[in-house]
Amino acid sequence: MFRVIGVAQVRFGAGLGSIVGGRASIAHEEGHVLAHGVPHGLTNCNLAVRVWCKIIRAGGCPVIVGGRIVGTMGEAATQTNRQVELHIPSELGWERVAMSAASSVAERMGFPRERIEDIKTAVAEATLNAIEHGNHQDATRKVYIILASEEEGLKISVLDHSSKPFSPLADTDRPDLTAKLAGQEPLRGWGTFLINALVDEVEYSTTNSGNLVRMVIHLEPLSVPKTVAETKRGKS
């Protein structure tokens, strides 16, 4: 998807620092520069480029992906090998391609069937939001999806090209079905509720390129200890 065009010094913009001696996969698309990741130590990505990929620094230095330290160079290389990237058209129906890919990756990782269904729905809804609300169904704009198989679980990122930051529902918010049935609220508006309910971690952010949804689904659901605790509370 990204054509590697250099292993060299990569500058991200005046006053924002640079990586010297690092390596980056960069490519030009739609007038932007794509570069994997965020340079080490640079967390404020007010860059003149689209930043959403990976930067690997030599010598076992920490690698930062999406603003987080995720490992050293060797680990990052392994992660790269277990990462699927998709660019899909902003047309309704194409979210099923993302669903299929996510299902395949999750199956390979050993997720149980019912969790794979959760993943498919979460990916579909995040992609739908990107297609409809982010890219306004403009077929010339792509939705970028990364499916990363990692030790922690399946990490999914969905990026659109919206110039407006979105304001997704907080974890605790739930659409009011009674109000919808009474005609007091629009019928739509379930997407982020489903995402929040079906994945273990979700983070919504706005980048210079658009809105980004990051989701994590653990191989061993965190809900297990919670259920035990709830059971104990129920007995007391």
Partner 1 sequence: MAQDTQVSLRENGGLVVLDIRGEITTFADAALTGAYRTASDGGAKSILLNFSGVDYLNSAGISIIIGLLIEARRAEQQLVMTGLTPHYHKIFQMMGLAQHAPVFETEDEAVQFVAKDTVVS
Q: Footprint of partner 1 on this chain (CB under 8 A)?
A: 91-96, 99, 114, 117-118, 121, 124-125, 128, 175, 177-178, 180-181, 183, 187-188, 190-191, 193-194, 197
The amino acid that residue 102 corresponds to is A
**Cβ at position 192, least distance to partner 1 in Å:** 9
Structure token pair of residue 196: 């929040």
**Judged by CB, which is closer to partner 1: 14, or 187?**
187
24: nearest Cα among 44, 54, 49, 3: 54
Place of tokens 């989701």: 215
CA–CA separation, 78 vs 12, rounded Å? 25
**Judged by CB, which is closer to partner 1: 113, or 235?**
113
**Cβ at position 19, least distance to partner 1 in Å:** 39
**Cβ at position 212, least distance to partner 1 in Å:** 20
Place of tokens 């019912």: 114
213: nearest Cα among 196, 197, 227, 225: 196
The amino acid that residue 181 corresponds to is L
CA–CA separation, 94 vs 70, rounded Å? 30
**Cβ at position 23, least distance to partner 1 in Å:** 37
**Cβ at position 99, least distance to partner 1 in Å:** 8
Residue 57: alpha-carbon gap to chain centroid: 22
**Judged by CB, which is closer to partner 1: 57, or 120?**
120
**Judged by CB, which is closer to partner 1: 105, or 119?**
119
158: nearest Cα among 70, 94, 108: 94
**Judged by CB, which is closer to partner 1: 33, or 194?**
194
